[in-house]
Chain A
């Protein structure tokens, strides 16, 4: 799973969000990797195509026109993001600890 996809799914895992909120949360996570709008919407479209994301129905009792479209994580999406998190955790456990040889430490 690509980093941006994982981040979007993780954000939606915390609750429904519209495009502006997603952009805002992604910016907070990593300001240097803020995606362009087409990239963000490609990711959302890909998530919808895979069944991970769905468009939430939003009531508009005030009748002030259509409110911003909100996106929601599906059960498949929850499973996918959990699986990816597990995979990343396993990868992280493979990382060398204090016994790392001096020449591989990146000068740290």
Chain B
């Protein structure tokens, strides 16, 4: 598609009289010919044909512009091109510094743009890798009273939806990872199971690497049928096809392996090691067990709005029929693509925009540099003109030079794009969808090639036009003074416009980088509500087969905490089900006596079961009241410690301790208040939360153990594993990590965002400073005789230097004056990317503007210094 689009666009590059029906006909022939090649000789032949035709059209259009004719004479053999290539090569060899600067700068610009475009293209633009992707939708259960729009659904409700809804061609569900103990390795480890209900594989268009996929409803009486993930199959099962038909060594229900699913199947959550039927889970028959994410393919011709209307009726009737489990539920049909990119669209658009701006700055900067070089080559060009070269021929040679540089920059840029893409995938946004699809593929290489050629021609077009003028004027450099003649006012205007444009675009990028940097510093300074230093955390999950009742689980954890507390250097140990920055979290509805809530709404509270000396182990201070003690046992009155959000919501004047709240039939007494603790991210506000004694909560057979010790927490990993093995050799400790690392991970993405945009901005700013420097230097060089005359007539050196600096400052002010309103308009759309700072923060804008103008002034200082040292005698003689 890109080739045809470019060719259609190329109509605008041709002179007006050549934009006729013949051009349209050529594009149509191009499309037919490319289709023929793809069908007969494969996509690579089609790509080569596209690239070759695009290049020849661009060169032809540029030549038509420059020479006023559509080309050399029709049918002329291409021998002239070789001649021009030879001249271009000689010309480039005479300026190795210029060549290196252009190639490296262009490679960076193209590499960054290609990498970012690759990400944007694969994530936001490419069709999803499923059959009829535009008809795939998510079907969410909603809970409007809590403002929850994306909730899972239970297996019985999903089955009712599938039976009653006529809008869907296919409807299925899947659950994320549910962990179990894997006994196939030397030591027991935890692996993740996903569950599938309905024709999920058909919706995804999934195929196995080896083996097969279970049919919908296929049941094996002996064992549920499972497909294992490719990564798990290769790493843990040795990539052995012999495992097909064998049982997977997991504790509890052992599924039979029938196939291997490739890693690149889209939509599925990452980290799942094997998939088995949802029917194999005990909760699959409970209407209140909402654990499946529903996904559907609409029937052809059915719009999402029609499906929404039908599903609202179905969900409403189910709510009437099953009020205990379904009352208050709604439904929301969301296009799958919208769901996938919901959190990432703004970020990727910003990255893509920054890369495009950077590439524009690169082209503008190199155009200025090439233009400057044209003026400094005035003598050579004049000699060529004197020897009979036409202006068209000279322009063509310069265009070929820049096209060659563009190609070299593009080739290097492709390598840089590959490296950047790998870095992006390694350090970029964690929730990036379609990650497996992102790569430097032939399509992106074609884009890179086209970008390189277009950039090369753009860089050369204006200088080539000026070259004809310079050759005619016979601009010769002025001997020992270094003066340059032959620069017309139009040449100055072009250079100034380019430099000011670069400063303007750099302003936009620098404002973005400053806002993100400011946000990052504020985020890093957020108090998480606990002390992460010196804390080691580990996840311990007790299998239901051996620790099914709360009592035995309680005894186990009590002993584990005692053993870890006895380790050398340990200050305190505790455990919790919901550790900050870990995925497990639960919530429930509550009421406070005497504080009614509006009709149709309910109060929600986060529930955090804790055990042992948890608050001390986490460094969470008790602000009021007390921590849990031995008296808060299973048979005692229910107690809780609440966070400040909860306390101030209901008891703003104080007095939370001693008060209480109700959860169902249970009265809970508040015995303490602790600070708000960050859970999901440092940026998110805390919910109202209640910490409950684990023994009273009566659930949670998996806890995160927290050990606070002197010194480096990593030294406790082995003693912790040994303590656990001493209690139960089949029980692994997983997700072992220092608490500081968990906090640090939350800063990874904002840091990456800041570094990437900061890198764009600094690169662009550096180029624009070099651009300003180049313009001012050229101005000084071309006006050397004039400056010499002024000095001979009494102008002082300081005044001369000041005038040069002022001319640079004018350029800076012009660029900043254009850039600030543009940045203001762009920043207003990026509210979700900044933290605790307005995207139009005036102080940031003012600081960037002042800094940029000041640095532009400094860039003008060197040429100013040179101007002030001009010897009037030599200048006038030259």
* Chain A residues at the B interface, C-beta cutoff of 8 Å: 1-6, 18-20, 23, 36-46, 48, 55, 68-69
Chain A residues with Cβ below 8 Å from B18 are 45
Is B52 part of the contact surface with A, judged by Cβ < 8 Å? Answer: yes
Chain A residues with Cβ below 8 Å from B552 are none
Does A23 contact B74, Cβ atoms closer than 8 Å?
no
Is B9 part of the contact surface with A, judged by Cβ < 8 Å? Answer: no
Majority-rule SS of B interface residues: helix
Known contacts A23-B33, A41-B23, A44-B22: does B57 contact A5 (CB below 8 Å)?
Answer: no
Chain B residues with Cβ below 8 Å from A39 are 56, 71, 74-75
Chain A residues with Cβ below 8 Å from B73 are 2, 46
Provide 17 A-B residue pairs closer than 8 Å at the C-beta atoms, listed in order of the A residue: A2-B73, A2-B74, A2-B76, A6-B75, A19-B26, A20-B29, A23-B29, A36-B53, A37-B26, A37-B53, A38-B53, A41-B22, A43-B75, A44-B22, A45-B18, A48-B22, A69-B22
Partner among A3, A5, A41 whose Cβ is within 8 Å of the Cβ of B26: A41
Is B70 part of the contact surface with A, judged by Cβ < 8 Å? Answer: yes
Is B30 part of the contact surface with A, judged by Cβ < 8 Å? Answer: yes
Does A69 contact B70, Cβ atoms closer than 8 Å?
no
CB-nearest residue of chain B relative to A22? B29
Partner among A2, A6, A38, A69 whose Cβ is within 8 Å of the Cβ of B57: A38
Is B28 part of the contact surface with A, judged by Cβ < 8 Å? Answer: yes
Is B531 part of the contact surface with A, judged by Cβ < 8 Å? Answer: no
* Chain B residues at the A interface, C-beta cutoff of 8 Å: 18, 21-23, 25-26, 28-30, 32-33, 52-53, 56-57, 60, 70-71, 73-77
Does B30 contact A37, Cβ atoms closer than 8 Å?
yes
Chain B residues with Cβ below 8 Å from A69 are 21-22, 25
CB-nearest residue of chain B relative to A41? B26
Partner among B57, B70, B75 whose Cβ is within 8 Å of the Cβ of A3: B75
Partner among B21, B32, B56 whose Cβ is within 8 Å of the Cβ of A20: B32
Chain A residues with Cβ below 8 Å from B74 are 2, 4-5, 39, 42-43, 46
Chain A residues with Cβ below 8 Å from B32 are 20, 68
Does B57 contact A42, Cβ atoms closer than 8 Å?
no
Known contacts A23-B29, A68-B28: does B75 contact A38 (CB below 8 Å)?
Answer: no
Partner among B21, B60, B75 whose Cβ is within 8 Å of the Cβ of A5: B75
Known contacts A20-B32, A42-B74, A45-B70: does B25 contact A36 (CB below 8 Å)?
Answer: no
Chain B residues with Cβ below 8 Å from A23 are 29, 33
Question: A37-B33, A41-B22, A69-B21 known; 16 other A-B pairs, CB under 8 Å?
Answer: A2-B73, A2-B74, A2-B75, A18-B29, A19-B28, A19-B29, A20-B32, A37-B29, A37-B53, A39-B74, A41-B23, A42-B74, A43-B75, A45-B18, A45-B70, A46-B74
Inter-chain CA distance A23–B71, complex, in Å, is: 19
CB-nearest residue of chain B relative to A8? B75
Known contacts A37-B53, A37-B57, A38-B60: does B25 contact A68 (CB below 8 Å)?
Answer: yes
Does A36 contact B33, Cβ atoms closer than 8 Å?
no
Partner among A5, A6, A42 whose Cβ is within 8 Å of the Cβ of B71: A42
Inter-chain CA distance A37–B708, complex, in Å, is: 74
Q: Tell me the smallest distance from the CB of B79 to a CB of chain A, in Å.
A: 13
Chain B residues with Cβ below 8 Å from A46 are 73-74
Inter-chain CA distance A48–B28, complex, in Å, is: 19
Inter-chain CA distance A45–B24, complex, in Å, is: 13
Kindly name the residue among B22, B30, B33, B71 whose own CB sees the greatest number of chain A CB atoms within 10 A: B22
Inter-chain CA distance A6–B74, complex, in Å, is: 11
Chain B residues with Cβ below 8 Å from A41 are 22-23, 25-26
Chain A residues with Cβ below 8 Å from B77 are 3
Does B22 contact A45, Cβ atoms closer than 8 Å?
yes
Inter-chain CA distance A48–B70, complex, in Å, is: 14
Inter-chain CA distance A44–B22, complex, in Å, is: 9
Does B56 contact A37, Cβ atoms closer than 8 Å?
yes
Inter-chain CA distance A4–B364, complex, in Å, is: 39
CB-nearest residue of chain B relative to A66? B28
Inter-chain CA distance A104–B70, complex, in Å, is: 40
Q: Tell me the smallest distance from the CB of A23 to a CB of chain B, in Å.
A: 7
Chain A residues with Cβ below 8 Å from B25 are 19, 41, 68-69
Chain A residues with Cβ below 8 Å from B26 are 19, 37-38, 40-41
CB-nearest residue of chain A relative to B14? A38
Inter-chain CA distance A45–B15, complex, in Å, is: 14
Kindly name the residue among B32, B56, B75 whose own CB sees the greatest number of chain A CB atoms within 10 A: B75
Chain B residues with Cβ below 8 Å from A37 are 26, 29-30, 33, 53, 56-57
Inter-chain CA distance A3–B73, complex, in Å, is: 11
Chain B residues with Cβ below 8 Å from A4 are 74-75
Chain B residues with Cβ below 8 Å from A2 are 73-76
Q: Tell me the smallest distance from the CB of B9 to a CB of chain A, in Å.
A: 15
CB-nearest residue of chain A relative to B63? A38
Kindly name the residue among A6, A42, A43, A46 whose own CB sees the greatest number of chain B CB atoms within 10 A: A42
Chain B residues with Cβ below 8 Å from A45 are 18, 22, 70
Inter-chain CA distance A43–B29, complex, in Å, is: 15
Q: Tell me the smallest distance from the CB of B7 to a CB of chain A, in Å.
A: 9
Kindly name the residue among A4, A37, A41, A48 whose own CB sees the greatest number of chain B CB atoms within 10 A: A37
Chain B residues with Cβ below 8 Å from A18 are 29
Inter-chain CA distance A4–B78, complex, in Å, is: 12
Chain A residues with Cβ below 8 Å from B33 are 20, 23, 37
Inter-chain CA distance A23–B52, complex, in Å, is: 15
Inter-chain CA distance A2–B33, complex, in Å, is: 25
Chain A residues with Cβ below 8 Å from B56 are 36-39
Inter-chain CA distance A19–B73, complex, in Å, is: 20
Inter-chain CA distance A39–B60, complex, in Å, is: 9
Inter-chain CA distance A42–B73, complex, in Å, is: 9
Q: Tell me the smallest distance from the CB of A14 to a CB of chain B, in Å.
A: 19
Chain B residues with Cβ below 8 Å from A6 are 75
Inter-chain CA distance A36–B52, complex, in Å, is: 8
Chain B residues with Cβ below 8 Å from A40 are 26
Q: Tell me the smallest distance from the CB of B587 to a CB of chain A, in Å.
A: 59
Kindly name the residue among B25, B56, B71 whose own CB sees the greatest number of chain A CB atoms within 10 A: B25
Q: Tell me the smallest distance from the CB of B296 to a CB of chain A, in Å.
A: 36
Q: Tell me the smallest distance from the CB of A85 to a CB of chain B, in Å.
A: 16
Q: Tell me the smallest distance from the CB of B26 to a CB of chain A, in Å.
A: 5
Chain B residues with Cβ below 8 Å from A68 are 25, 28-29, 32
Chain A residues with Cβ below 8 Å from B71 are 38-39, 42
Inter-chain CA distance A79–B76, complex, in Å, is: 22
Chain A residues with Cβ below 8 Å from B30 are 37
Chain B residues with Cβ below 8 Å from A48 are 22
Q: Tell me the smallest distance from the CB of A94 to a CB of chain B, in Å.
A: 22
Chain A residues with Cβ below 8 Å from B70 are 42, 45
CB-nearest residue of chain B relative to A46? B74
Inter-chain CA distance A93–B77, complex, in Å, is: 24
Inter-chain CA distance A41–B70, complex, in Å, is: 10
CB-nearest residue of chain A relative to B31? A20
Q: Tell me the smallest distance from the CB of B10 to a CB of chain A, in Å.
A: 9
Inter-chain CA distance A55–B52, complex, in Å, is: 27
Q: Tell me the smallest distance from the CB of B857 to a CB of chain A, in Å.
A: 48
Chain B residues with Cβ below 8 Å from A5 are 74-75
CB-nearest residue of chain A relative to B57? A38
CB-nearest residue of chain A relative to B61? A38
Kindly name the residue among A3, A38, A46 whose own CB sees the greatest number of chain B CB atoms within 10 A: A38
CB-nearest residue of chain A relative to B27? A37
Chain A residues with Cβ below 8 Å from B57 are 37-38
Chain B residues with Cβ below 8 Å from A1 are 75
CB-nearest residue of chain B relative to A70? B25
Q: Tell me the smallest distance from the CB of A8 to a CB of chain B, in Å.
A: 8
Q: Tell me the smallest distance from the CB of A86 to a CB of chain B, in Å.
A: 19
Q: Tell me the smallest distance from the CB of B164 to a CB of chain A, in Å.
A: 43
Kindly name the residue among A18, A48, A69 whose own CB sees the greatest number of chain B CB atoms within 10 A: A69
CB-nearest residue of chain B relative to A36? B56
CB-nearest residue of chain A relative to B32? A20
Chain A residues with Cβ below 8 Å from B53 are 36-38
CB-nearest residue of chain A relative to B77? A3
Q: Tell me the smallest distance from the CB of A77 to a CB of chain B, in Å.
A: 14
Q: Tell me the smallest distance from the CB of A53 to a CB of chain B, in Å.
A: 11
Chain A residues with Cβ below 8 Å from B60 are 38, 42
Q: Tell me the smallest distance from the CB of B321 to a CB of chain A, in Å.
A: 54
